[in-house]
A = this chain, B = another copy of it.
Amino acid sequence: MSPRTIFYVSDGTGITAETFGNSILAQFPGPFRHVRRPFIDSEDKAWQVVREVNECAQREGVAPVVFLTLVNDAVRDILTDGQNGPAAHGRAKVMDMFRSFVEPLEEEFGIKSNHRIGRFSDAAKSQEYHDRIEAINFSLAHDDGQSARNLEQADVILVGVSRSGKTPTSLYLAMQHGVKAANYPLIPEDFERGHLPTSLMPHKRKCFGLTIDPERLSQIRNERRPGSRYAALDNCRAEVAAAEQMMRRSGIEWLSSTHKSIEEIATTILRDIRPDRLSY
Contact = CB atoms under 8 A, between A and B. Distances in A.
Nearest to A92: B108
A110 to B, nearest CB: 10
Contacts of A136: 167-168, 171
Interface residues of A, number: 79
Copies in the complex: 2
A20 B20 contact: yes
A277 interface: yes
Contacts of A26: 116, 118-119
Contacts of A277: 34
B14 A120 contact: no
Most buried by B among A26, A29, A270: A26
Contact of A35 (B121, B175, B276): B276
A100 B100 contact: yes
Nearest to A36: B278
A101 to B, nearest CB: 5
A261 B124 contact: yes
A133 interface: yes
Contact of A18 (B101, B122, B171, B278): B278
B15 A267 contact: yes
Contacts of A143: 140
Interface string A258-274: 11111110111011000
Interface of A: 4, 12-16, 18-20, 22-29, 33-36, 38-39, 63, 65, 69, 71, 93, 95, 97-98, 100-102, 104-105, 108-109, 111, 113-116, 118-125, 129, 133, 136-137, 140, 143, 167-168, 171-172, 175, 257-264, 266-268, 270-271, 276-278, 280
9 contacts: A19-B20, A20-B97, A23-B118, A25-B105, A27-B105, A28-B109, A36-B271, A36-B276, A95-B105
